[in-house]
A and B are shown apart, each in its own frame.
Chain A
């Protein structure tokens, strides 16, 4: 059982709530994808006001994802100085919405935390990572993808690779070894076997990034012209906006629905997918 403590008050006891089994799994997946999310209990995370979350894992004897990953029983996540944890902090904050908190009016308290989390995003360091020289396609003309004869048969990975195969391409399939689970390591590793790389190419680069809906699906974005990120959600039309209809300038901060885990950036050019 994992309880979350929103570290925000100075005099009053902080609000606490318990995560559901599913929420624990989602959180564990985030931590597994990026262990640097966790901070020691005595880490400096801010002064008065929002200071992140304290996670307490109580051993109830049952095997859960927290225990399986060997995560510590008491640890910190987020705060004013950890912009890389902003998304996971937002995730944790949203778990409070369905919990019963010992607060008369939780709205303003959660609102303060949310605003501070958003503010951390403006801290330098959480900006999309680009490699140059970059290969850029139009951020508005998606006719290559959205025709009736191929829109349905090409997915986000096709779009990211800028390679229309009409096979709903899967990471690793062209290399003969697909992903075996839906997490950053497995899907990203499969993409690397196809030829995507973490480092920049000297000649030319498609800049793409991978996100995960933990355990269920993956999604890719590609950097296009005019500093916009474009994508193609499954069988739908390719586009340059997110689930909130906002143009995507930073895929890390875009509304990605359930694809809450941001895995990282990959580079390649002429990568063959199938």
Chain B
């Protein structure tokens, strides 16, 4: 259990370090990014960036959902707005694929990092966030889910 957590932490950490170590000028077309590594990215974990003190809630995604989410991310058009600095409360979902790719999803903004390069994407229908919210339901108490759902639905951070 502990070694699994460590591996997970390392994967997330490396992904994030890559994200923070570069600017947001990524590949000209995110869908072209490293398709050769896609097969290696069937396993993924999602987490909810919500708490300040407690550890973030996270859960494993099925291989199918992991692939579908990544395909959905890669199909999104480029955006220009960064994820806002919210502070306390709901700050979005994160998905980390085993191969190192990493996505932060907040409302209609997606920050996707792969191979050390980060691109900003736009999901105007907020489908990715809705999908992650639906996937979070079994992992949250009904009351917490309701609280998160209300914050997700908020149009302002």
Tell me if B16 is interfacial: C-beta within 8 Å of chain A: yes
Question: By DSSP majority rule, is chain A's interface helix, strand, loop, or mixed?
Answer: loop
Across the interface, do A152 and B87 meet the contact criterion of CB distance under 8 Å? no
Complex CA gap A232/B87 in Å reads: 8
Across the interface, do B143 and A243 meet the contact criterion of CB distance under 8 Å? no
Binary interface encoding of chain B residues 6-25 relative to chain A, with 1 for a CB under 8 A from any of its CBs, else 0: 00000011001100110000
Total of A-B residue pairs, C-beta within 8 Å: 76
Binary interface encoding of chain B residues 130-149 relative to chain A, with 1 for a CB under 8 A from any of its CBs, else 0: 00000000000001101100
Interface size in chain B (residues, C-beta < 8 A):
24
B49 / chain A contacts, CB cutoff of 8 Å: 234-235
Question: By DSSP majority rule, is chain B's interface helix, strand, loop, or mixed?
Answer: loop
Tell me if A157 is interfacial: C-beta within 8 Å of chain B: yes
Across the interface, do B21 and A148 meet the contact criterion of CB distance under 8 Å? yes
Q: When A256-B88, A257-B88 are in contact, do A217 and B16 touch as well, CB less than 8 Å?
A: no
Across the interface, do A152 and B13 meet the contact criterion of CB distance under 8 Å? yes
B 81-127 contacts with A by CB, 8 A? 85-89, 91
Chain A positions near chain B (C-beta within 8 angstroms): 22, 148-149, 151-153, 155-157, 168, 170-171, 182, 187, 215-220, 232-237, 239, 241-243, 256-259
Q: A234-B51, A258-B88 are in contact. List 12 more A-B contacts (CB 8 A).
A: A22-B146, A157-B53, A170-B54, A187-B53, A216-B54, A216-B144, A216-B147, A217-B52, A233-B52, A237-B85, A241-B87, A257-B87
Chain B positions near chain A (C-beta within 8 angstroms): 12-13, 16-17, 20-21, 49-56, 85-89, 91, 143-144, 146-147
